[in-house]
């Protein structure tokens, strides 16, 4: 926690009060307890208890916050800004680590409502030639909220009133405003949030407390006794007892839509709700539930609410659809500040919002509207989702090796080789089980998307000569051009399966340059005389340099004399180090003296690149016999550099070139 006004280092743009307000996910107007209030209701050690007077932006039901705020005098008013930060810039919808606590900025309010924000100017701008603005006032901050996020004005109080079925004031008499608040409370999931309702038990308003108690007892079975007294400390303990009950029991509770309450799940219930594996062993397209999209299209919040609750609880399917929602048009991503849901990275990013336009505009389809809802939900419920994924990993690790949940999780969960996910853990456990020996699901998991686990398992199936598995790989390489097809072609080439050669030769004529390049790359692991005509034909018509280069590298692996002319032509051109090394090795394999002039000229080009120089010099010695050279290394492998022999070889090549020029 940071409880001070920030100081800034030199930068191109100086963030002003406007940027801080836009960045705040929660902005509170508070006052520090008076001496009398503190004696009656003392704060935690080392902190000050700040009494919430008004929520200017964001949502909370807690009437007090305890923060380190030594700069505040007893009874002094202040603004408290809880800063929003992107949770993770890489694949946030797979993450399991809980988000860090928000940084806190506290601005005391002085005479004439001046906001003491230190050296932070009223408006953001360039340091160069900056006009030093007058001191900010409370009215400035309130105006910024109204300008930047007009829907936030009065939203916390209105949402609370709607949640508890209490009168909501004049604004709620406007049907459009009431509809917006309904959608906001649904997406925030306030009606089922025990922490939100428990916070209201500390309210100084007995009507609010009674309504919150009634709602809590309706949705939860926690046997939390009523407090004997209604002093602030007793009410806080009552509130905390409810929160503690929820924290202890939430992992085992499931929402029953019929009963409209949280209930204990049976022993086979999983929070991730992994569906049965389809008979076809293929992942369906990620799409939102039709009933939810239809309710949005018809703008029926009453029908949307239960569908959205079910979606929020759908675990793995929800996460898959959040990833799909990243395709939302940039206009709506930027308008609602949703970059944090798709891996954004920025200092003081604007806090996520749900703009009324997303709900009511005819310019956005129901599907795109739901994408926006999904992304903002990912921001607002990020901690809840990460806890759910983390618990799923523990559940998978403890499950018996042959458990159905392991197979389902391995099939449905997304995975990443860079960090631990439930999909990765499930895949590891599945491939250690006897179930994987059947091959069918192993093949399906590989084709869904190659990972380190599925690639390793595929190698084992190929090495064990699993005919059905190999047949499935060949069929996929023949019919598809996706990442799984690329990897299948590579594994079959590395295992020297001759059936793959004619299929990859078809790839060489594909309209997609990436597919042509990948075919040539895979053929490097399986040099074959049968591939030479196809490579030479494809090389003649290739127009894209990177693909042409890969064709040359593939020809270099063959050691076939038919590859000599194109290799010599390539050797005379300027090449990157990697390509030059493979050309030199390729000429070594052919071992034809006609390559010596080209190699001698190449040897002069790579000063400072010892690896390329060594490979070229070694090839010259190996072919010419002028000095000792070694047979070429295999594709995609390194070779040790012998610096003394490199220098001697370079000298020998210079003498050879002089001798040739003299003759």
Q: What DSSP line would sit under 586-641, residue for residue?
A: HHHHHT-GGGHHHHHHHTTT-TT-HHHHHHHHHHHHHHH-SS--PPPPPTT-----
pLDDT for residue 474: 98
Average confidence score pLDDT of the chain: 93
Rg of the chain in Å (alpha carbons): 33
Global confidence as pTM: 0.86
CB atoms within 10 A of CB 563: 24
Please check the confidence at residue 32 and state whether its pLDDT lies above 60: yes
Task: Evaluate whether 109 touches 76 at the Cβ level (below 8 Å).
Answer: yes
Query: For the segment 292-318, what is each residue's pLDDT rounded down to a tens digit?
Result: 999 999 999 999 999 999 999 999 999
pLDDT confidence of 169, banded at 50, 70, 90?
Answer: confident
Going by the DSSP 8-state scheme, the letter that residue 539 receives in this structure is: H
Three-state DSSP at 78 gives strand
Q: Which of 523, 526, 525 lies closest to 539 in space, CA to CA?
A: 523
Please tell me the least confidently modeled range out of 320-334, 481-495, 637-651: 637-651
The pLDDT value recorded for residue 125 is 78
Q: Report the C-alpha gap between 94 and 60 in whole angstroms.
A: 27
Give the pLDDT band (50/70/90) at residue 221: confident
pLDDT surpasses 70 at 130? no
Which pLDDT does position 223 carry in this prediction?
76
Residue 435 clears pLDDT 70, i.e. is over it: no
Between CA 105 and CA 24 the distance in angstroms is 9
Residue 137 near residue 115, CB atoms below 8 Å: yes
Q: 135 near 429, Cβ under 8 Å?
A: no
- Are 618 and 649 in contact by the 8 Å Cβ rule? The answer is yes
* Alpha-carbon distances, residue 381 vs 373, 385, 577 (angstroms): 12, 6, 49
For 567-619, how does the pLDDT look when each residue is reduced to its tens digit (9 = 90+)? 999 999 998 999 999 999 999 999 999 999 999 999 999 988 999 999 999 99
Given this model, what pLDDT does residue 3 score? 41
Q: Tell me the per-residue pLDDT of 316-334, one tens digit each, with 9 for 90 and over.
A: 999 999 999 999 999 999 9
The pLDDT value recorded for residue 2 is: 38
- pLDDT in the model for residue 8: 37
Considering only residues 358 and 345, tell me which one the structure prediction assigns the higher pLDDT. 358
* Segment among 9-13, 126-130, 198-202, 369-373 with least mean pLDDT: 9-13
Express each pLDDT in 615-638 by its tens digit: 999 999 999 999 999 999 999 888
Q: Confidence band (pLDDT; 50, 70, 90) for 100?
A: confident
12: confidence class by pLDDT, cuts 50, 70, 90 = low
Per-residue model confidence (pLDDT) at position 6: 38
- Alpha-carbon distance of 519 to 492, in angstroms, equals 12
Q: For residue 546, which of 521, 572, 529, 526 has the smallest C-alpha distance?
A: 521
| Residue 522 to residue 505: CA distance in whole angstroms | 11
Beta carbons of 447 and 440 less than 8 angstroms apart: no
Interhelix angle 366-380/290-297, nearest 10 degrees: 110
Please give the pLDDT value at position 10.
Answer: 40
- Which residues lie across from 67 on neighbouring strands? 48
Percent of the chain with pLDDT over 90: 85
% of the chain exceeding 70 in pLDDT: 96
Residue 328 exposed, middle or buried by CB count within 10 Å (0-12, 13-18, 19+): buried
Does residue 423 contact residue 409 with C-beta atoms inside 8 Å?
Answer: yes
Per-residue confidence (pLDDT) for residue 126, from 0 to 100: 63
Distances from the Cα of 57 to the Cα of 60, 65, 137, angstroms: 9, 15, 16
Whether 188 shows a pLDDT value over 80: the answer reads yes
Whether pLDDT at 372 is above 70 = yes
Percentages (nearest 5) of helix, strand, coil residues in the chain:
55, 10, 35
Q: Is it the case that residue 397 has pLDDT exceeding 60?
A: yes
Handedness of CA 415, 421, 427, 428 (dihedral sign): positive
Kindly state the tokens that stand for 207: 């009507």
């Amino acid at each position: 926690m940071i409880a001070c006004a920030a100081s800034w280092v030199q930068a191109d743009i100086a963030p002003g009060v406007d940027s801080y307000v836009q960045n705040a996910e929660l902005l509170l107007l508070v006052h520090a307890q008076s001496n009398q209030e503190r004696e009656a209701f003392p704060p935690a050690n080392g902190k000050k208890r700040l009494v919430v007077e008004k929520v200017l932006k964001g949502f909370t039901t807690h009437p007090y916050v305890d923060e380190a705020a030594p700069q505040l005098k007893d009874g002094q008013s202040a603004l408290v800004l809880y800063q929003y930060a992107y949770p993770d810039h890489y694949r946030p919808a797979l993450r399991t680590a809980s988000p860090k606590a928000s940084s806190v900025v506290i601005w005391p309010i002085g005479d004439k409502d001046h906001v003491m924000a230190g050296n932070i100017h009223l408006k953001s701008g360039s340091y160069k030639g900056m006009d030093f603005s007058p001191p900010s006032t409370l009215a400035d901050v309130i105006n910024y909220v109204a300008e930047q996020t007009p829907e936030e004005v009065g939203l916390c109080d209105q949402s609370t009133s709607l949640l508890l079925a209490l009168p909501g004031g004049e604004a709620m008499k406007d049907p459009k405003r009431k509809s917006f608040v309904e959608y906001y409370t649904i997406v925030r999931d306030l009606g089922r949030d025990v922490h939100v309702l428990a916070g209201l038990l500390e309210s100084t308003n007995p009507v609010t407390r009674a309504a919150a108690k009634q709602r809590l007892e309706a949705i939860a079975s926690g046997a939390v006794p009523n407090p004997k007294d209604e002093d602030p400390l007793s009410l806080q303990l009552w509130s905390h007892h409810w929160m503690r009950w929820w924290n202890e029991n939430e992992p085992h509770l499931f929402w029953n839509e019929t009963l409209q309450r949280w209930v204990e799940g049976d022993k086979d219930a999983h929070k991730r709700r992994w569906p049965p594996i389809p008979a076809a062993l293929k992942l369906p397209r990620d799409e939102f539930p039709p009933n939810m999209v239809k309710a949005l299209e018809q703008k029926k919040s009453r029908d949307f609410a239960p569908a959205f609750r079910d979606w929020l609880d759908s675990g793995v399917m929800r996460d898959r659809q959040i990833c799909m929602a990243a395709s939302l048009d940039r206009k709506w991503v930027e308008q609602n500040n949703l970059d944090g849901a798709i891996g954004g990275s920025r200092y003081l990013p604007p806090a996520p919002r749900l703009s009324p336009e997303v709900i009511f505009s005819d310019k956005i389809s129901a599907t795109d509207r739901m994408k926006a809802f999904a992304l903002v939900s990912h921001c607002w419920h990020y901690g809840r989702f990460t806890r759910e994924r983390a618990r799923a990993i523990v559940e998978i690790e403890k499950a018996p090796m042959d458990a159905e949940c392991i197979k389902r999780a391995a099939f449905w969960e997304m995975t990443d080789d860079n960090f631990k996910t439930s999909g990765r853990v499930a895949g590891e456990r599945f491939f250690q089980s006897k179930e994987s020996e059947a091959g069918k699901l192993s093949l399906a998991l590989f084709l869904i998307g190659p990972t380190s686990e599925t690639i390793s398992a595929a190698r084992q199936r190929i090495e064990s000569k699993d005919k059905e598995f190999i047949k499935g790989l060949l069929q996929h390489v023949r019919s598809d051009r996706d990442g799984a097809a690329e990897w299948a072609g590579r594994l079959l080439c590395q295992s020297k399966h001759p059936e793959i050669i004619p299929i990859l030769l078809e790839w060489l004529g594909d309209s997609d340059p990436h597919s042509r390049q990948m075919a040539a790359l895979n053929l490097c692991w399986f040099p074959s005389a049968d591939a030479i005509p196809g490579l030479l034909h494809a090389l003649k018509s290739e127009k894209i340099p990177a693909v042409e280069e890969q064709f040359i590298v593939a020809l270099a692996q063959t050691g076939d004399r038919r590859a000599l002319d194109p290799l010599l032509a390539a050797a005379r051109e300027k090449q990157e180090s990697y390509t030059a090394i493979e050309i030199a090795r390729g000429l070594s394999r052919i071992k034809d003296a006609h390559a010596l002039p080209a190699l001698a000229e190449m040897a002069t080009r790579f000063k400072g690149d010892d690896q390329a120089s060594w490979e070229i010099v070694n090839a010259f010695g190996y072919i010419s016999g002028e000095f000792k050279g070694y047979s070429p290394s295999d594709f995609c492998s390194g070779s040790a550099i012998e610096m003394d022999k490199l220098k001697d070889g370079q000298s020998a090549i210079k003498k050879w070139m002089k001798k040739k020029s003299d003759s």
